[in-house]
Structure 1
Amino acid sequence: MSGFVEGVRAEHPAYGVLRPVTSCASVLLAENPSPMTLDGTNTWVLRAPDAAACVVVDPGPDDEVHLRRLAEHGPVAQVLLTHGHADHSAGARRFAELVGAPVRALDPALRLGSEGLADGDVVEAAGVVVRVLGTPGHTSDSLCFLLEGEGDPGSVLTGDTVLGRGSTMVAHPDGRLADYLESLRRLADLPPGTAVLPGHGPELADAGQAALAYLAHREQRLGQVRQALATLGPEATARQVVELVYAEVDVALWPAAELSVRAQLEYLREHR
């Protein structure tokens, strides 16, 4: 699962087409569109211009057509996962079988034949340097990958921490709002012009600006939740708060909104 949308539809490349985005990063869009995944999962292929092998980030769902299309762009040196939600990771085991590459993730349960990933780690492969940023909040195992060596200021692969459009959910109870806000502040401190290569939706020009916009949105929502509790009473359920605060959001997205509200209520209890 990824985020829920509170924005408008943006243009996106066709399915099955590997589209260059930066000098070292290209995207292959999985054909798994839904209200939760936007147009589908972005699978990222990283390699220096003169490199034969590549690094794959988030193989996506267990979709044989997508995985075989992706394998055609190998050889693959390593597979990295931003987090364990199935739309990003379910295809990792099958993809590893297809290309013979190890899978690295923060969660030990998702690793295949290799060491894990943690904040501060540096992955050097396929002529690129990837610095791992621990960014919990959407999930406890969420990571972002700062892609270095492609000129200043570079780009950051954000998984579901920052989407190409709309907002993301905090997947309570695994995800925590306090952690998510701190992760957004970390992204806000990246050098100006650091591009966002998200797990869903189109790329964004500036990670810092995107993170600041997300922080402002979260503060706005927290204010609305406080007001809802003042109206409904302190014993109001998360669903009651959703019906009031997220009234303008498609009801198909209310289950995701309810997870975020549970995280907001927990945050407000902890920060009275």
Structure 2
Amino acid sequence: MTDVAVVRADNPGPMTLDGTRSYVLRAPGSASCVVVDPGPDDERHLATLAAAGPVELVLVTHRHADHTAGSARLHALTGAPVRAADPEHCHGGDPLRGGESIDAAGLRVDVLATPGHTADSVSFVVTVPDGAGSPEPVVLTGDTVLGQGTTVIAEPDGSLRDYLASLDVLERVGDGRAGLPGHGPAIDDLGVAVRAYRAHRLERLDQVRAALAALGRAPGDGREDAGETADAVVAHVYADVAPAVRRAARQSVVAQLAYLRDEPA
């Protein structure tokens, strides 16, 4: 099976949990490796990743700095191309395309477009090809599915509609397979986790609908007071959320309101 090493960055916090997880992947016996998500621009962290090499390729799950800030430096340390869906975060490599397959370090990496957390979010299905070992894939989910807690639908380009569609994609590839998230512990069965995520999102949507009814508001109450509506819904639905993650909750509410505005009457 795929050899997986986790190098956890020293950047714990309310949004990063115990730190961003960078992954070092290779087929059994491969001299080179693939790094997924270089993490923050932390010299010690990046030196550890470089020392695991030779690094053949660096892949990025999405644009957030706790996953990408170290990309340019890791490229300089190793010479390995850095590929991301967003060209801004590529260094010496082409942008990723959903549906493409990449061969590196004895592995096959299938790129899945999984927008929603951010517009550029991708996931990776990593397999040791037949004849070289076990073909059972692992799925790297970035911040689309976390090892604990739930994912924020991040402004300005997050989309709840896209996110729910991405959960469908991950459920199809994830049943019975391990998930490797950008934060938090590994997931034993990604399909089970995805179904729990979907149920949570739909429950929150029902809570937002109920809050709007109680507040006498509608999700399409004019864009000029959208911020006031979001604040009122956060206070109603997320009253038990810690202040440290209240801003993230508000981002998700903005996405929920946008989703409800587009619902058929």
TM-score (norm. length: structure 2): 0.92
What residue in structure 2 maps to residue 164 of structure 1? Answer: 147
Aligned counterparts, 1:182-221, within 5 A: 182-190=165-173, 192-221=175-204
Decide whether aligned partners of structure 1 residues 110 and 191 sit closer, same or farther in structure 2, where only a CA change above 3 A counts. Answer: closer
Question: Identity over the aligned pairs, expressed in percent?
Answer: 55
Question: 1:153 touches 1:192 (CA, 8 Å); kept in 2?
Answer: no
Q: 2-side partners of 1:186 and 1:107: how far apart?
A: 20
- 1:62 match: secondary structure: coil
Higher alpha-carbon Rg: 2
Which one is further off, 170-179 or 30-39? Answer: 170-179
Greater helix share, structure number: 2
Q: Does residue 242 of structure 1 match 2:234? A: yes
Shift in Å, 1:202: 0.2
Structure 1 contact 153–191 (Cα < 8 Å) conserved: no
Which residue of 215, 238, 258 corresponds with 1:266? 258
- Measure, in 1, the Cα distance between the counterparts of 2:229 and 2:135: 47
Is the 2:2–2:127 Cα contact (8 Å) retained in structure 1?
Answer: no
C-alpha distance in 2, partners of 1:161/1:111? 20
Cα shift readout 1:32-70 (whole Å, capped 9, x = no counterpart): 000000000000001012011100000000111111111
Name the structure 2 match of 1:133. Answer: 112
C-alpha distance in structure 2 between counterparts of 1:145 and 1:67, whole Å: 21
What one-letter code is carried by the residue in structure 1 that aligns with 2:115? P
Alignment of 1:1-272 (within 5 A): 23-149=2-128, 151-190=134-173, 192-234=175-217, 235=221, 237-272=229-264
Q: Is the 8 A contact 2:125 2:137 kept in 1?
A: yes
* 2:148 partner SS: coil
For residues 226-268 of structure 1, give each alpha carbon's deviation from its aligned partner in whole angstroms, at most 9, with x where no partner exists: 0110111215521111111111111110101100000000000
**Structure 1 segments of 4 or more deviating over 3 A?**
none
Q: Distance in 1 between matches of 2:3 and 2:142?
A: 17
Aligned to 1:263, the other structure's residue is in SS state helix
**Runs of 5+ unmatched residues, structure 2:** 222-227
Letter in 2 for 1:201: G
- Structure-2 residue corresponding to 1:6: none
Larger relative CO (CA 8 A, sep 6+): 1 or 2? Answer: 1
Normalised by the length of structure 1, the TM-score is 0.90
Find the residue that maps to 1:237 and give its secondary structure. helix
RMSD: 1.2
